[in-house]
Amino acid sequence: MTTTARLSELTGDYVLDTARTRIGFVARHTMATRVRGWFDAFEGSAHLDGDDPSKSSARLTIQAKSIQTRNQQRDDQLRSMFLDVDAHATITFTATGVEQAGRTTFKVSGDLTIRGVTKPVTVDFELTGAENDSRGRLRVGFRGGVTINRKDWAVNWNAVTGVLVSEKVTLELDIAAIRQL
């Protein structure tokens, strides 16, 4: 993707390209290693206003049970004891504000809901590219991330777990979106 497009050319309504988007996370485990994971099932949309980014909006819905770390025992534990997916099937993010921070960087503030707890977060994003695909549809790419304290969303199992898994979790977002006609 190239980033030669002017922001005003990006204005429009978009849906996530789920085949090219990655919603991931990293958490320190046992003080020496890091656990990386991702979610397989999600959907989202955005309205981008290139002339006035503050008028942009976005939403993301993640199926909590789709969490993956390549370790079945850990995944089952994350689903049941940490995320309680039977009671809280989705994780959501709804943008409440967008601020342009640089030529291709943005701060997207919003409400993140995990386990039924909603807290404000601000995700730093960088526009990584924009180009037309082979069908003539405009595609945009963004990379972003934010570090949260999982305990703020009641994502905890017991006191022992607090020692084995860091409270800080970095959310990593590699977004690909397609402008709708």
Structure tokens at 70: 């390549």
Assign 41 to helix, strand or coil.
coil
Q: What is the pLDDT of residues 96-138, one digit of tens each?
A: 999 999 999 999 999 999 999 999 999 999 999 999 999 999 9
Return the bridge partners of 99, or none. 107
Q: In 3-state terms, what secondary structure has residue 88?
A: coil
Write the pLDDT tens digit of every residue in 9-50.
999 999 999 999 999 999 987 767 899 999 999 999 999 999
Report which of 22, 29, 14 is spatially closest to residue 161, judged by C-alpha positions: 29
| 7-179: CATH, from 2.170.260.10, 2.40.128.110, 1.10.10.10, 3.40.50.360 | 2.40.128.110
| Alpha helix ranges (H) inside the chain | 72-77, 159-164
